[in-house]
Amino acid sequence: MVKEKPNSTRCYDADGYRRRAACICVRSEAEDEVLLVSSSGASECWIVPGGGVEPEEQPATTAVREVIEEAGVVGRLGRRLGVFENDERKHRTEVFVMLVTEELPEWEDSRAIGRRRKWFSVDEALKQLSLHKPVQVEYLESLACSPRDSQVVDDQFTATIPRDHLTPAGDNPVQTDVT
């Protein structure tokens, strides 16, 4: 099912849950630091970057697109951590791990809404998320429990993101390698 919303189209699964995707962005393969972004609704709250799956879009593509839009980072998409259900908001979010390879000096949401990003230790990120996003705590808990070589996204996958998501005046597409 698809529902129109200003500036986006919401997709729902057969059970009526909104389809979403997100990334746990890590600074290194040690996976001991994660990137959170300020919430668009409450800038003092920190959240995992993610958003709605668009029609005809694969969740891995959504995850990469949302990370660029919300966090202004690019990197290598790694394993799939699973699908996490939020019964209260009727969302199902497919979550991936991304090893960040580049932090952009400015990005779409930093310009449009003043969104910020910040690196946290896993323990501090768990504390931050537990204040406002308890479902997202489950994402991070699964990071520690998930074997690093499990459920790796297809090595052939690449996501093409329009350059205007990255810089104010660019016109070349950027390919984000997803391994």
Instruction: State the Cα–Cα distance between residues 26 and 67, nearest whole angstrom.
Output: 12
The two tokens of residue 124 are 């501090």
Element (H, E) at 144: helix 134-145
Q: How many domains does the chain have?
A: 1
- Is residue 84 situated within a structural domain? yes
- Is residue 12 situated within a structural domain? no
Contacts of 105 (CB under 8 A, 6+ apart): 72
pLDDT of residue 173: 33
Domain range for 100: 18-144
Residue 170 CB neighbour total at 10 angstroms: 12
Q: Is the pLDDT of residue 95 over 90?
A: yes
Across the range 86-100, mean pLDDT stands at 96
Across the range 51-57, mean pLDDT stands at 95
Across the range 36-64, mean pLDDT stands at 95
Side chain identity, residue 64: V
- Is residue 1 situated within a structural domain? no
User: In the predicted model, what is the mean pLDDT of the chain?
Assistant: 84
Instruction: State the Cα–Cα distance between residues 90 and 79, nearest whole angstrom.
Output: 24
Active-site residue flag, 124: no
Of 169 and 142, more confident: 142
pLDDT of residue 6: 58
Of 1 and 83, more confident: 83
- Is residue 129 situated within a structural domain? yes
Check if the beta carbon of residue 48 is closer than 8 Å to that of residue 136.
yes
Which of 75, 82, 85 lies closest to 146 in space, CA to CA?
82
Instruction: State the Cα–Cα distance between residues 173 and 94, nearest whole angstrom.
Output: 25
- Is residue 64 situated within a structural domain? yes
pLDDT of residue 169: 33
pLDDT of residue 150: 55
pLDDT of residue 16: 96
Q: Which of 4, 56, 57, 69 is catalytic?
A: 69
Q: Among 6-10, 31-35, 39-43, where is mean pLDDT lowest?
A: 6-10
Which of 43, 45, 54 lies closest to 19 in space, CA to CA?
54
Across the range 4-27, mean pLDDT stands at 88
Q: Is the pLDDT of residue 159 over 70?
A: no
- Render pLDDT for 109-147 as a digit per residue (tens, 0 to 9): 999 999 999 999 999 999 999 999 999 999 999 998 888
Terminal CA-to-CA distance of the chain, rounded, Å? 30
pTM: 0.82
Of 168 and 84, more confident: 84
- Is residue 158 situated within a structural domain? no
- Is residue 95 situated within a structural domain? yes
Give the CATH number, domain containing residue 135. 3.90.79.10
Instruction: Give the whole-number percent of the chain exceeding pLDDT 70.
Output: 78
- Is residue 71 situated within a structural domain? yes
Side chain identity, residue 13: D
